[in-house]
Amino acid sequence: MIRSSTPVTTDRDLGRKRILRDLRNIKKSFISTGIHRDETAVYPRPGGKAPRVQDVGNWNEFGISVPERSFLRSTFDANRNRWRKETTRLYGMIIKGTITPEVAMRRLGFEMKNAVQNTIEKMKIPANAPSTIRGKPQIGDNPLIHRRILKRSIKSKITLRGKTR
């Protein structure tokens, strides 16, 4: 009889499978921040057809029939590097197992939504025309605030593994 003095080693998974699964899930995921297609808000207009908030957002973002007041593109341009750093930090937390991909994406989406809403709230230039201010005295000098409909319509949605949440 031959006996071996070599000890038997058992290989244990210390989290590699979870890390690979989480990274695969993130690959098929994204965050969408803005005014989404399913938004139903409209701007009240006495005696006329009420425009949808998506239309008002597009008109202001791209300067269609009104001065251009970019609130989406300008926010993303201003925060791109900060959000890249935050994404890297969140990836590290996912790999360590201290946060799930869904929670990480919700955090970043929340931050993005707040940044866009802050841009809308602080927008001053180009100012409203005097006739607009006379017609809507409650809005003051902020050209994107009218009952805060546009600001409230900004949402972040995450799509994780092809499913929007």
The pLDDT tens digits for 62-96 are 888 777 788 888 999 999 999 999 989 998 888 88
Confidence of residue 6 (pLDDT cuts 50, 70, 90): low
For residue 66, give the 3-state DSSP assignment.
coil
Helices and strands (H and E) in the chain: how many: 6, 3
Whole-number Å distance between alpha carbons of 61 and 103? 30
User: Which residue, 159, 144, 160, is CA-closest to 33?
Assistant: 159
- Asked if residue 139 belongs to a domain, the reply is no
Tens-digit pLDDT profile for residues 40-52: 767 666 666 777 7
- Asked if residue 109 belongs to a domain, the reply is yes
Residue 120: per-residue pLDDT: 85
Number of folded domains that form the chain: 1
Place of tokens 């017609």: 135
Whole-number Å distance between alpha carbons of 66 and 80? 27
Tens-digit pLDDT profile for residues 93-145: 888 888 888 889 999 999 999 999 998 888 777 666 666 666 665 556 666 66
Whole-number Å distance between alpha carbons of 3 and 24? 45
- Asked if residue 77 belongs to a domain, the reply is yes
Query: Residues with Cβ < 8 Å from 138, sequence gap 6 or more?
Result: 147
List the domain range (segments joined by +) for residue 27: 16-35+53-116+147-164
- Kindly report whether the global pTM for this prediction surpasses the value 0.85: no
- Asked if residue 73 belongs to a domain, the reply is yes
User: Which residue, 60, 66, 108, is CA-closest to 87?
Assistant: 108
DSSP letters spanning 73-134:
HHHHHHHHHHHHHHHHHHHHHHHHTSS-HHHHHHHHHHHHHHHHHHHHHH--SSPPPHHHHH
The pairs formed by 81-87 with CB atoms below 8 angstroms and a separation of 24 or more are: 83/108, 83/111, 83/112, 86/111
- Asked if residue 133 belongs to a domain, the reply is no
- Asked if residue 94 belongs to a domain, the reply is yes
- Asked if residue 129 belongs to a domain, the reply is no
- Asked if residue 71 belongs to a domain, the reply is yes
